[in-house]
């Protein structure tokens, strides 16, 4: 005996299942697209310019740091004054040096600037800082002076918080 063919009855809400499924994935794809666009347009991904060349020259940087003159130095930042006290190994103040600072904002490109620090006496060099933004800044300090007919250079880095 042949089996009877029965027709399944469809529920009225069955037709919305496909639309709910497509709507869910549509929202996921839309959000993923927004996140990808935001990530690409707000961060270049470049952390260091010429990273490969700097990596190859790192031994030179280490050698320069190891061969720096022995100095006693103290860096401080009391809003708005950046102050660097320089003295030789015996504690005698370092006079007649040319002192510069490169202020770098590590969290945002385009706001770095250079300043010169002025000798105020007794080996203290200072300059007022007018930081355009609050937050973390890095001061790459460099001093140059002549001693025994040789130009000496001393470098250090100081992190400060702009207010």
**Tens digit of pLDDT for each residue in 16-52?**
888 999 999 999 999 999 999 998 888 766 677 788 9
Residues 6+ apart with CB under 8 A from 128: 80, 81, 82
Q: How far apart are CA 128 and CA 137, in angstroms?
A: 14
Backbone angles phi, psi at 149, to 5 degrees: 60, 25
Q: What is the pLDDT of residue 32?
A: 97
How many CB atoms are located within 10 Å of the residue 97 CB? 21
pLDDT, tens digit, 9 for 90 and up, residues 69-119: 888 999 999 988 999 999 988 889 988 899 999 999 988 878 899 999 999
Closest CA to 84 of 112, 113, 118: 118
Residue 1 has pLDDT above 60, yes or no: no
Is this model's pTM higher than 0.85 or not? no
CA-atom Rg of the chain in angstroms: 31
Q: What is the pLDDT of residue 98?
A: 94
Q: What is the pLDDT of residue 37?
A: 92
Q: What value does the mean pLDDT take over residues 113-137?
A: 93
């Amino acid at each position: 005996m042949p089996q009877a063919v029965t027709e399944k009855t469809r529920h009225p809400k069955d037709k919305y299942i496909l639309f709910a499924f497509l709507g869910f994935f549509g929202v996921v794809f839309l959000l993923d697209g927004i996140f990808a666009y935001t990530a690409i347009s707000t961060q270049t991904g470049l952390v260091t310019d010429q990273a490969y060349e700097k990596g190859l020259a790192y031994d030179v940087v280490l050698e320069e740091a190891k061969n720096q003159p022995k100095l006693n130095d103290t860096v401080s930042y009391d809003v708005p004054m950046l102050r660097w006290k320089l003295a030789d190994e015996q504690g005698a103040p370092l006079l007649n040096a040319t002192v510069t600072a490169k202020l770098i904002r590590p969290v945002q490109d385009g706001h770095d600037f250079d300043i010169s620090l002025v000798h105020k006496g007794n080996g203290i060099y200072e300059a007022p800082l007018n930081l355009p933004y609050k937050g973390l800044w890095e001061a790459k300090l460099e001093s140059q002076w002549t001693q025994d007919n040789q130009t000496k250079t001393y470098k250090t880095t100081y992190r400060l918080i702009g207010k």
